[in-house]
Amino acid sequence: MSIDLGLRDKVVIVTGAGGGIGRGIALAMARAGARVVINDIGVSLGGEGGSSSPAEETRSLIESAGGQAAISTDSVSDWDSARKIVQCALDSFGRVDAVVNNAGILRDAIFHKMDPGDWKSVIDVHLNGSFYVSRAAAEPFRAQESGAFVHMTSASGLIGNFGQANYSAAKLGIAALSKSIALDMKRYNVRSNCIAPFAWSRMTDSIPASTPEEQARVERMKRMTPETNAPLAVFLASDAAREVTGQIFAARLNELFLFGQPRPVRSVHADGGWTPETIAERALPALRAGMTPLDRSGDVFSWDPI
């Protein structure tokens, strides 16, 4: 027996839907019967330029398959502009039922060489953008007492990676933002969850491939097409996930993961309190076994995509 996802005629905003993961999600939402607001400003991976062509291509693909879509070319990184994205859904289709915060840019650099401007740009798009669009959608969600947020986090933030202090900080911040939304808006039947997507896209095609080992790794990663993340996003936006909120998932080719969230793992106690010396002498040895290794995402996901 097939499950009715309840997405027919619902309205879903997908930011960064002009290509890659966002386009894959937008197309999948439309196939599930949703009407889609395609938000994309058509910039380069680093955030330069701007064109409506990527969004128009996504709309053409949706409409040629019989779906309905509208385009917003407003930026997520400005409050007034983000409000226009939500207004586009209301003007075009009369309501909004789900938001997928997917828009993003990269400005990678080793931490001690990172330009403050590149820090701010990435935070503005990923973290501030997720807040602005979510905050704008919170008003109609609250009024109708329903809604779903799906935010894109990253293993770079949840676990760690080289040369991505700005991106990692933003993506871990999004996980905390999602949890706060889930807590604050549960009373209005509004859900908020995260996906850490794994995909070969323009955000990963800068990975070095100069050695045979690196080239082999890249070829394995290319199997993880952007579209493999879409089913999880569609599920989380649907009525089938009505009881799922405040969670962090990952999609990796044919694998799905549920991430843990920070909780105390060990404790020590001292009558009368601690001094720096007793922490070094007694607390550190007791806590050391529970400390998290200095892993990167690739160390934790060390096997080939399945």
Neighbouring CB atoms inside 10 A of 68's CB total 16
User: Pick the catalytic residue: 167, 198, 200, 249?
Assistant: 167
Q: Are 179 and 134 in contact (CB under 8 A)?
A: no
142, 148, 143: which is closest to 98 by C-alpha? 148
Instruction: Give residue for tokens 């602005």.
Output: 132
- Strands (DSSP E) contained in the chain are 11-15, 35-39, 69-72, 98-101, 147-152, 190-197, 248-252, 255-258
- Mind giving me the DSSP string for 47-99? S----SHHHHHHHHHHHHTT--EEEE---TTSHHHHHHHHHHHHHHHS---EE
Give helix then strand counts, H and E, for the chain. Answer: 12, 8
Q: Is the dihedral of CA 193, 20, 25, 304 positive or negative?
A: negative
167 is an active site residue = yes
- The alpha carbon torsion through 114, 117, 118, 122 (nearest 10 deg) reads 130
CA angle 254, 20, 125 (to 5 degrees): 115
Q: Is the dihedral of CA 75, 80, 82, 84 positive or negative?
A: negative
Q: Please classify residue 8 by burial: count the beta carbons closer than 10 Å to its beta carbon, then call 0-12 exposed, 13-18 middle and 19+ buried.
A: exposed
Q: Are 93 and 11 in contact (CB under 8 A)?
A: yes
Q: What are the structure tokens assigned to 214, written together? A: 């690196």
For the annotated catalytic residues, the residue numbers are 167
